[in-house]
Amino acid sequence: MADLLAEAQVRSWLDEAGRVVVLTGAGVSAESGVPTFRDALTGLWARYSPEELATEAAFRAHPQRVWDWYLQRRQALECVRPNAGHVALARYAMRYPGKLTLVTQNVDGLHQQAGQAETLALHGDIRSECWLDAPRACCQGQAPRIGHPPRCAVCGNLRRPAVVWFGEALPATVLEAAERASAECHLMLVVGTAGVVYPAAGLVHLARRAGARLAIVNPEPTALDSLADVCLRSASAQCLPRLLEAAPLAGSD
């Protein structure tokens, strides 16, 4: 009964809020079967530390090793589909244009697949690539030479996964947009994240300082629970449809 009352409270806040920010983490993707970062360090990769596979230095030292690990992770995503939580968020955003800003720490692109095209992906996109070094003129307008990893046939510049590695800054424009939305929102939902990775978790503190209400959706306790108005101990694929799909269409009676 307490959980039902708490969900009803959050639904009423959603109705009242002019602007909503949703911050999602690995737990949302895990419900679709996506291994967490550390869960992906299994089998052949179990002998490596994250620092040996997810830093620029590791890539420069062992480009094929790092590339092949990310290739394996990409291939594992081919059979993964957005879950009911992803879909509920995308549908809500379509029903209320301009109301919801989705910020994610996930790199799997499942929010975008569900229809959330304007997702702010703080840590990049594992399915995309970019140049390791600033591209020269020879890198432009040509297909990279095939390899593990591919490289420019002229200067040898390597292609790398378009994700944020340890020690790298988040993309400035994405972070600025997330900070601006967090400072202006009336309600923030924090879903499927333990709240220990910064600067993503700092967005929650920013929203609270600006006076926003905070609801956390996570089956386990998080480092941000003490800031929350409500903690819903539920899986996101179960809870988000109840919170978001109960709302009527904008303009309906």
Tell me the C-alpha distance between 59 and 67, whole Å. 8
Q: Mark whether 106 and 136 lie in a shared domain.
A: no
* CATH number for the domain that contains residue 156: 3.30.1600.10
Tell me the residue length of the chain: 253
State pLDDT tens for residues 196-239. 999 999 999 999 999 999 999 999 999 999 999 999 999 999 99
Q: Is the pTM of this model over 0.95?
A: no
What sign results for the dihedral spanned by CA atoms 199, 66, 124, 156? positive
Q: Tell me which of 86, 111, 123, 186 is the catalytic residue.
A: 123
Flag whether 118 is in a domain: yes
Q: Mark whether 230 and 184 lie in a shared domain.
A: yes
Residue 38's pLDDT is what? 73
Flag whether 159 is in a domain: yes
Q: Give catalytic status of residue 111 as yes or no.
A: no
Which tokens hold the place of 95?
């029903």
CB 208 within 8 A of CB 227: yes
Q: Mark whether 157 and 230 lie in a shared domain.
A: no
Of the candidates 140, 163, 186, which is a domain's last residue?
163
State pLDDT tens for residues 158-179. 999 999 999 999 999 999 999 9
For the chain, what is the domain count?
A: 2
